[in-house]
Amino acid sequence: MTARTLDGRATAKTIMESLHQEIGHIRTSTGKTPTLATVIVGDDPASHTYVRMKVNRSHQVGIEPRLIQLPKDSTTERVVEEVSALSEDPEVDGILVQHPAPPQVDEEKAFEAIDPRKDVDGVTSSSLASMAFGGEGFRSATPGGIMRLLESYDISVAGKDVVVIGRSRILGIPMGLLMLAENATVTYCHSKTSDLAQKVAAADVVVAAAGRPELVRGDWIAPGAVVVDAGYADNTGDVEYAPAAERASWITPVPGGVGPMTIACLLEQTLLAHKRRNHLP
């Protein structure tokens, strides 16, 4: 068996084309443009590269990007002040606080300063509660992008055993909540899980989001399982790709799988926030 590819680039391109068309129509009919503000603290090269990608993609679909760059020695209070100002700014539809922030910044406080109506990255407690209880808040961008990718390939998780490896508030935890909402049976695994290989081997769907390159060995994957790799470090994911692809039915490439879907979901939710705030259908 050789796994088929869950092509995030192709799926994201379709979403982006649809966004471009709809945003163009909104701009023509209302004269308004959705705006996404990004707050980045410090000079982490990977974060700045990712932010540039988001800015470029925003321009492509017609979203106005606003970038707020803060020095690496910024305090939590300074970051919260900037985020709070954006929350109160009537011209801003979506707010993103780039992760990770320097260690002296309390990210949770920065996240919680985001108006939930503008939390297009799905990082506030309000958004997490919405994902848990089926509210109208925003999905966390990477988990939301993963769900959109599975949906685009008609892969249902209902009734399936899903293993999520990782428990961060921006990826692992919301990933499990979204899977649970689609009637999957979810097992969370993490650095303290003692029998990871056995749990992965019993899964119909594996979502690897631990941030540890090739943590998941290919021969752990059950024949026919779906593998979603949300890890990324030097073009290497959390899953040992080649042997896993020999066993899985579907698998995401790294890069080209989850990453493009994260940005597409973020921009899609920015448009949704704009429509809600302006009472558009």
DSSP 92-152: --EEEE-SPPPTTS-HHHHHHTS-GGG-TT--SHHHHHHHHHT-SSPPPHHHHHHHHHHHH
Spot the catalytic one: 7, 93, 98, 229. 98
Strand 64-70 with 94-97, pairing: unpaired
Residue with tokens 């939590």: 76
Cβ proximity of 247 and 201 under 8 Å: no
Distant-in-sequence, close-in-space partners of 49: CB < 8 Å, separation ≥ 6: none
Spot the catalytic one: 7, 115, 119, 121. 121
54 is catalytic: yes
Q: How much is the CA Rg of the chain, to the nearest whole Å? A: 19
Spot the catalytic one: 54, 118, 160, 199. 54
Three-state DSSP at 215 gives coil
60 is catalytic: no
Distances (CA, A) of 107 to 45, 78, 101, 111: 19, 12, 7, 6
121 is catalytic: yes
| Residues designated catalytic | 54, 98, 121
